[in-house]
């Protein structure tokens, strides 16, 4: 039968329940029903939000000044503690490594950079649909100003003892400041909000997203000249325990957190949605269940509508204990983006590349080296190109002749008549790239654009020789590759630059990142700066997007075997016989 029950905290509307056989009402709901039945006609039962709750609201309003003062004090102390770490010279916390690097690059004060970067990070909240609070805005405005003010009055440490003292004071004060402003409960800072927003959008763990963000920030800041040192390590190890202790000391008594979903003691009529705002809109087509689709837990009551999502309930009919709500967080998975196979990749995988023709004997990027590679059965050659002062395209790695030839000077400043007289290892001349295309008509060339000036001559040569199927262009400079692709169109095979590789790496962890279209391969080192680039996750993500993975430069047979086990599509090596032996042993040479 249908009963109407008044919930103590929801007196403004009745809550309908259908009592099914074997489903018992909770004690609180039964009491509410009894009181409702005993109430005079035309008079609603008394709400729990009566006079007894007014003093509680008064106490909450009296806590606002304390919360505000604690927020401001925490942010000012945070800026001051960061300034102490700067003056110690022993290393900064991760984000300030980036801020210091940008400060050196732009000439702005580090506090100004902190404020600007806070605003930039705040803009990233928009696509993540994060809403800033008072604490978020105050974080952007106060920390940078406090940092500059402290730097103006605290001098650099003059001796090691003073530097260590400043470092310890900065770390301890930073932990206290973190506890102060977080306990004020006025919203997260811009960087914390970015982390939680990415967690909500991607469904990945906070730990993973925080770690990746910190690594990217530290690496970028270090490359820009930010300070890494013992202070960075001490901060990373100590900030967690210090902030936790400070949160306990600075906690402000407040109301218990609101429970999301149906409250204990409240029963739901079948078809009643626990989250009205999340109720499906009428007439909208639903996604069929499958990979990534949300699965619906059990419902309370007989034959519930399948388009509603309800919490699971435990016990034999005791609905006052809600144990689990459906997870509303979408977990997107990368969708495969199949690409047509470029003719350049018309070779059984894995592809063996002769790196600079096989640079182990010192005759790198010479016609003699490429002849020896061709005699060994290699069809794919890796080389680099520069242009001379008169616009000739030379196959050579370095910008100068000094390292491997008997001549000296920068190639871009010398005419071809002078460059051609240089000898690699005192024996072999430097070849023009067009000469290599003519001498090895069946070879495929992986060309690294080493200079902007080489872009137009290379595209013109490929067009003139109709070598679209024989050349793949790559560069560390993502913009250079993009300009080559625009100049040549889709006929030119290209590989990812650094930005594309980083984006692909982030996507392998489920973190959204932009990828330029048009590349046919990701050509990467196995590791860079102690950070592993190629693993099974990276290879799987590349293959899902129709990209091959070529790894350079691998000379150890054990590493070759390990990479082939991961499923890479090509290996570049200086040791031609070693790679040939490994592939032959696996039945993959041909």
The model's pLDDT over 424-457, given as tens digits with 9 standing for 90+, comes to 999 999 999 999 999 999 999 999 999 999 999 9
Residues 6+ apart with CB under 8 A from 194: 121, 124, 125, 128, 130, 213
Cβ–Cβ under 8 Å, residues 25 and 301: no
Burial of 238 (0-12, 13-18, 19+ CB in 10 A): middle
CA distances 516 to 93, 165, 526, 556, Å, are 32, 48, 22, 32
Q: If we measure between CA atoms, which residue out of 372, 367, 423, 416 comes closest to residue 394?
A: 416
Q: State how far the Cα of 134 lies from the Cα of 379, in Å rounded to an integer.
A: 63
pLDDT in tens, 290-325: 444 444 444 444 444 444 444 444 444 443 344 444
Burial of 363 (0-12, 13-18, 19+ CB in 10 A): buried
pLDDT in tens, 532-562: 899 999 999 999 999 999 999 999 999 999 9
The whole-angstrom distance between residue 127's C-alpha and the CA centroid of its chain comes to 15
Q: In this predicted structure, which of 215-224, 350-359, 503-512 has the lowest mean pLDDT?
A: 215-224
**Confidence at residue 319, expressed as pLDDT on a 0 to 100 scale:** 38
**Confidence at residue 398, expressed as pLDDT on a 0 to 100 scale:** 96
Q: For tokens 């034999």, what's the residue?
A: 316
Q: State how far the Cα of 342 lies from the Cα of 406, in Å rounded to an integer.
A: 40
CA distances 222 to 98, 100, 107, 114, Å, are 7, 9, 16, 16
pLDDT in tens, 240-293: 778 778 777 877 765 444 444 445 444 445 555 555 444 445 554 555 554 444
**Arithmetic mean of pLDDT, 344-368:** 93
CA dihedral (559, 560, 562, 566) positive or negative: positive
CA dihedral (379, 580, 531, 164) positive or negative: negative
Q: State how far the Cα of 191 lies from the Cα of 442, in Å rounded to an integer.
A: 53
Please identify every residue annotated as catalytic: 355, 397
Q: If we measure between CA atoms, which residue out of 353, 359, 419, 351 comes closest to residue 389?
A: 419
Cβ–Cβ under 8 Å, residues 561 and 582: yes
Indicate whether this model's pTM tops 0.75: no
Question: What average pLDDT does the chain have?
Answer: 78
**Confidence at residue 174, expressed as pLDDT on a 0 to 100 scale:** 85
* Number of residues that this document lists for the chain: 590
Q: Over 60: is that where the pLDDT of 358 sits?
A: yes
Q: State how far the Cα of 428 lies from the Cα of 576, in Å rounded to an integer.
A: 19
Cβ–Cβ under 8 Å, residues 551 and 526: yes
Exposure b/e, 99-117, CB count within 10 A at least 16 = b: bbbbbbeeeebbbbbbbbb
Q: If we measure between CA atoms, which residue out of 179, 325, 183 comes closest to residue 241?
A: 179
- Structure-token pair, residue 197: 């927003």
Q: Over 50: is that where the pLDDT of 3 sits?
A: no
Could you tell me which residue, 56 or 186, shows the higher pLDDT? 186
Q: State how far the Cα of 270 lies from the Cα of 304, in Å rounded to an integer.
A: 6
The whole-angstrom distance between residue 320's C-alpha and the CA centroid of its chain comes to 41
For the chain, give every residue range classified as CATH 3.20.20.190: 345-585
- Structure-token pair, residue 339: 């690409």
Q: For tokens 């182990």, what's the residue?
A: 360
Give me the DSSP letters along 324-357.
Answer: E---------PPP---PPPGGG-SPSSEEEEETT
Q: State how far the Cα of 155 lies from the Cα of 552, in Å rounded to an integer.
A: 47
474 bridge partner residues: 448
End-to-end CA distance of the chain: 78
Cβ–Cβ under 8 Å, residues 563 and 549: no
Burial of 445 (0-12, 13-18, 19+ CB in 10 A): buried
CA distances 230 to 84, 92, 93, 265, Å, are 14, 9, 10, 54
Cis peptide before 338 (omega within 30 of 0): no
DSSP state of 472: E
pLDDT in tens, 127-142: 777 778 887 888 888 8
Q: Over 90: is that where the pLDDT of 198 sits?
A: no
Four-way CATH pick for 345-585: 3.40.50.300, 3.30.70.2750, 3.20.20.150, 3.20.20.190: 3.20.20.190
Confidence of residue 35 (pLDDT cuts 50, 70, 90): very low
Q: Over 80: is that where the pLDDT of 114 sits?
A: yes
387 bridge partner residues: 393
Q: If we measure between CA atoms, which residue out of 545, 487, 541 comes closest to residue 519?
A: 545
Q: 298: how many CB neighbours lie within 10 A of its CB?
A: 9
**Confidence at residue 62, expressed as pLDDT on a 0 to 100 scale:** 64
Q: State how far the Cα of 564 lies from the Cα of 561, in Å rounded to an integer.
A: 5
């Amino acid at each position: 039968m249908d009963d109407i029950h008044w919930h103590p905290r929801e007196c403004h509307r009745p809550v309908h329940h259908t009592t099914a056989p074997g489903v018992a009402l909770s004690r609180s709901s039964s009491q509410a029903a009894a009181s409702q039945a005993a109430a005079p006609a035309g008079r609603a039962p008394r709400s729990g939000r009566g006079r007894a709750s007014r003093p509680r609201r008064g106490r909450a309003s009296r806590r606002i000044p304390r919360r505000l003062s604690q927020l401001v004090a925490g942010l000012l102390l945070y800026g001051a503690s960061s300034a102490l770490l700067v003056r110690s010279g022993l290393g900064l916390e991760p984000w300030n490594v980036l801020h210091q690097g940008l400060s050196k690059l732009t000439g702005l004060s580090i506090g100004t950079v902190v404020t600007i970067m806070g605003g930039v990070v705040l803009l990233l909240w928009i696509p993540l649909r994060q809403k800033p609070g008072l604490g978020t805005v105050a974080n952007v405005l106060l920390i940078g100003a406090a940092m500059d003010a402290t730097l103006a009055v605290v001098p650099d440490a003059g001796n090691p003892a003073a530097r260590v003292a400043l470092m310890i004071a900065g770390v301890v004060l930073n932990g206290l400041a973190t506890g102060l402003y977080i306990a004020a409960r006025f919203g997260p800072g811009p960087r914390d909000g970015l982390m939680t927003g990415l967690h909500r959008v991607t469904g990945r763990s906070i730990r993973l997203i925080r770690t990746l963000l910190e690594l990217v920030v530290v690496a970028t800041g270090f490359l820009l000249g930010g300070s890494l040192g013992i202070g960075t390590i001490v901060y990373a190890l100590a900030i967690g325990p210090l902030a936790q202790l400070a949160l306990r000391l600075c906690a402000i008594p407040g109301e218990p957190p609101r429970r999301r979903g149906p409250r204990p003691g409240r029963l739901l009529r079948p078809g009643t949605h626990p989250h009205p705002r999340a109720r499906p809109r009428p007439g909208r087509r639903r996604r069929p269940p499958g990979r990534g689709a949300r699965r619906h837990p059990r419902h309370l009551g007989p034959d519930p509508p399948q388009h509603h999502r309800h919490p699971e309930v435990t016990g034999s009919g005791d609905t006052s204990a809600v144990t689990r709500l459906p997870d509303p967080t979408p977990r997107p998975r990368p969708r495969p983006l199949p690409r047509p196979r470029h003719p350049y990749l018309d070779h059984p995988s894995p592809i063996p590349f002769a790196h600079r023709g096989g640079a182990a004997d010192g005759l790198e990027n010479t016609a003699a080296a490429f002849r020896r590679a061709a005699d060994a059965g290699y069809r794919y050659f890796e080389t680099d190109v520069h242009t001379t002062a008169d616009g000739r395209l030379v196959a050579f790695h370095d910008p100068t002749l000094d390292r491997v030839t008997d001549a000296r000077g920068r190639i871009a400043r010398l005419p071809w008549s002078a460059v051609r007289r240089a000898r690699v290892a005192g024996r072999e001349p430097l070849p023009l790239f067009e000469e290599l295309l003519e001498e090895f008509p069946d070879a495929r060339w992986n060309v690294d654009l080493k200079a902007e000036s080489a872009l137009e001559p290379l595209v013109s040569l490929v067009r003139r020789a109709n070598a679209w199927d024989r050349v793949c262009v790559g560069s560390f400079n993502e913009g250079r590759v993009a300009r080559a692709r625009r100049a040549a169109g889709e006929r030119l095979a290209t590989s990812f630059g650094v930005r594309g590789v980083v984006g692909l790496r982030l996507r392998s962890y489920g973190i959204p990142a932009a990828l330029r279209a048009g590349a046919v391969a990701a050509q990467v080192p196995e590791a860079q700066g102690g950070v592993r680039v190629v693993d099974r996750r990276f290879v799987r993500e590349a293959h899902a997007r129709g990209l091959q993975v070529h790894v350079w430069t691998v000379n150890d047979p054990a590493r070759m075997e390990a990479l082939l086990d991961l499923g890479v599509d090509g290996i570049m090596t200086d040791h031609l016989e070693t790679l040939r032996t490994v592939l032959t042993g696996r039945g993959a040479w041909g």
